[in-house]
Amino acid sequence: MSTIDQEVAGYYDKVLKRNAGEPEFHQAVAEVLESLKIVLQKDPHYADYGLIERLCEPERQIIFRVPWIDDDNNVRVNRGFRVQFNSALGPYKGGLRFHPSVNLGIIKFLGFEQIFKNSLTGLPIGGGKGGSDFDPKGRSEAEIMRFCQSFMTELWRYIGEYRDVPAGDIGVGGREVGYMFGQYRRLVNQHESGVLTGKGLTWGGSLVRKEATGYGTVYFTDEMMRANGDSLDGAKVIVSGSGNVATYAMQKAQELGATVVGFSDSSGWVETPNGVDIELLRDVKENRRGRVSEYVEETTGATFHKDGSIWDLSADVALPCATQNELNGDHAKALVDNGVKYVAEGANMPSTHEAIELFRAKKICFGPGKAANAGGVATSALEMQQNASRDSWSFDYTDNRLRGIMSNIFNIAANTAEEYDRAGDYIIGANIAGFKKVADAMLAQGVI
State the residues that interact with ligand NDP by CB under 6 A. Answer: 95, 168-171, 213, 241-246, 265-267, 321-323, 326, 346-348, 373, 376
Of residues 40 and 317, the one with the C-beta less far from ligand NDP: 317
19 annotated as ligand-binding: no
Of residues 140 and 267, the one with the C-beta less far from ligand NDP: 267
Q: Is 129 a catalytic residue?
A: yes
Cβ-based neighbours of 328, under 8 Å, separated by 6 or more? 352, 354, 355
Of residues 231 and 267, the one with the C-beta less far from ligand NDP: 267
Cβ-based neighbours of 99, under 8 Å, separated by 6 or more? 131, 133, 135, 170, 171
122 annotated as ligand-binding: no
The one catalytic residue in 108, 129, 210, 437 is 129
- Least spacing, CB of residue 423 vs ligand NDP, in Å: 27
- Least spacing, CB of residue 244 vs ligand NDP, in Å: 4
User: Which residue's C-beta sits nearest to ligand NDP?
Assistant: 243
252 annotated as ligand-binding: no
- Least spacing, CB of residue 320 vs ligand NDP, in Å: 9
Q: Is 7 left (phi over 0), alpha (psi -120 to 50) or beta?
A: alpha
Cα angle for residues 155, 84, 184 (degrees, 5° grid): 25
Cβ-based neighbours of 418, under 8 Å, separated by 6 or more? 429
- Least spacing, CB of residue 322 vs ligand NDP, in Å: 3
- Least spacing, CB of residue 323 vs ligand NDP, in Å: 4
- Least spacing, CB of residue 120 vs ligand NDP, in Å: 12
93 annotated as ligand-binding: yes
Of residues 93 and 437, the one with the C-beta less far from ligand NDP: 93
Report the first-to-last Cα separation within the chain, whole angstroms: 32
385 annotated as ligand-binding: no
168 annotated as ligand-binding: yes
Say if strands 75-86 and 60-69 run parallel, antiparallel, or are unpaired: antiparallel
114 annotated as ligand-binding: yes
Instruction: Name the binding residues for substrate.
Output: 93, 114, 117, 168, 380
Q: Which residues are catalytic?
A: 129
Binding-site sequence positions for NAD(+): 213, 244
Binding site, annotated residues: 93, 114, 117, 168, 213, 244, 380
